[in-house]
Structure 1
């Protein structure tokens, strides 16, 4: 069957068969996706058993809530960022802190703190390395942005996120920090660890068949927003991680790997109220002003809330 034959068939199924007004956008997307899938079936000689196995895989991934993990694992979420970068460039928006993927593990409603926050609940304080992170939120003109909201979340030492991991306390390693009058934020937490896709899960199974690993480097997620500015979705990676530039989710980007300073000076340790060395990261965020010429940065998608 030729591609032209397939296009005619799909048009008859989706467009000609309609007996009431259709949503044009949904219709056009459906026609394209169904047509492309039919062409792949024809070109690759996909057999019925393979087709149904594929549907079973997607059903299992959805039941396990892993579709949000498959999207970054197959590069789709990174592709959306590439397109957003291209749209920004066309609108004349350049520089600033690079965006990168959100991932599927944000939870709305984290406690709000002003100026500074402690993210961890202390349960892993003995095993983990204490990390202090601090910086300033700037605008396009290089001036601080007072009151900017810095939402932050990351995994625990086992690579698990609170809310999805019910053994953790609510909002462990999650906070919203409102920057002070100089646009500064500060946080204390534990150094996150890298982790992998759930063993035996849909994502890990597919990646294994593709000859790929499912590991992520240690990282910390951020939403940074302020009135009159474009929302930034980004994350930093922890320098020195084995998978720093080999992230299965393709989220590593230049400009998002700040230096990690290890502090062992007794006076500095005492000043922090600690009895052991700690790590420190300085990282500033640079936001762009709102622009009607570029697509919105607030992405509507289903997110968890507690």
Structure 2
């Protein structure tokens, strides 16, 4: 088309789509092009501004590697990741929350009651709960992939001193849907701010902090997979998470337990914990694929 204008460019773009374009792809591109073109028109983007945007995206690509995905982080701090989570969550199931850029695939299988803490400092935290369906029935054999930061605020993929699977583990729920392990309380931390995401945060007067949390991916045949996080109710960044991941049903309490009450069996640390410890209970509710 020779007479493309600022007013007809969206329709022109859509007219270029071939007849065999996947219907869902066509729907997505129709909305994307409409909103993007309207955004450019309404904000009257200049050449310099658009060039800065392209350079930021190029920088994100340059800094991305197997351990760090700056595009995921950019999606997170813009609220897009959380918005996708929210519109795909179901009110009867546990809320989804951001995956984040630091998940390590193929975590080792660990027995129920295994310990993440090992030699790291800090109070022992006993984490346990159940995987259930929306009717409260247990889901035996559910797979629970869990990971967190070390006490220094770093994930294993960020820290050369940690083994790659440090504070990562894959558990299988028992016949009652039960899972349990011990760890040390994760800490609040900052998202990487030495790249384009950091530049964007600085330019808008935003901080890079996230409240402490445990990450979960829960899967079971016949159920929708759940990607979520669990946050303590006393974290100072609970109401200002830079990636917008906090949901009301994901906020829990660490319950202080007196010395001498740690379970005598069922845990790798049974018989080894004499001091006080904390207990955290979190149940994951999965949605049946037919719901």
TM-score past 0.5 threshold: yes
Cα distance in 1 between the residues matched to 2:287 and 2:31? 34
Normalised by the length of structure 1, the TM-score is: 0.81
Show the 5 A alignment for 1:1-306. Answer: 5-12=5-12, 15-16=15-16, 25-26=24-25, 29-30=28-29, 32-65=31-64, 66-85=70-89, 88=90, 94-120=91-117, 122-123=118-119, 125=120, 127-268=121-262, 272-291=271-290
Contact 1:139 1:286 in 2 (8 A): yes
SS at match of 1:182: coil
Contact 2:260 2:273 in 1 (8 A): no
Question: C-alpha offsets along residues 27-74 of structure 1, whole Å, 9 cap, x if unaligned?
Answer: 554454345434333332322111111100111122222110111111
Over 3 Å counting, the alpha-carbon distance change for 1:82 and 1:279 in structure 2 is same
Normalised by the length of structure 2, the TM-score is: 0.85
Instruction: For residue 111 of structure 1, report the CA deviation from its aligned partner.
Output: 0.5
Gapped runs of 5+ residues in structure 2?
Answer: 65-69, 265-269
Cα distance in 1 between the residues matched to 2:20 and 2:136? 51
Over 3 Å counting, the alpha-carbon distance change for 1:54 and 1:111 in structure 2 is same
Question: Cα RMSD between the aligned structures?
Answer: 2.6
Contact 1:114 1:179 in 2 (8 A): no
Instruction: For residue 20 of structure 1, report the CA deviation from its aligned partner.
Output: 9.4
Over 3 Å counting, the alpha-carbon distance change for 1:15 and 1:137 in structure 2 is same
User: How many pairs were matched up?
Assistant: 278
Contact 1:128 1:190 in 2 (8 A): yes
Over 3 Å counting, the alpha-carbon distance change for 1:146 and 1:211 in structure 2 is same
Over 3 Å counting, the alpha-carbon distance change for 1:150 and 1:42 in structure 2 is same
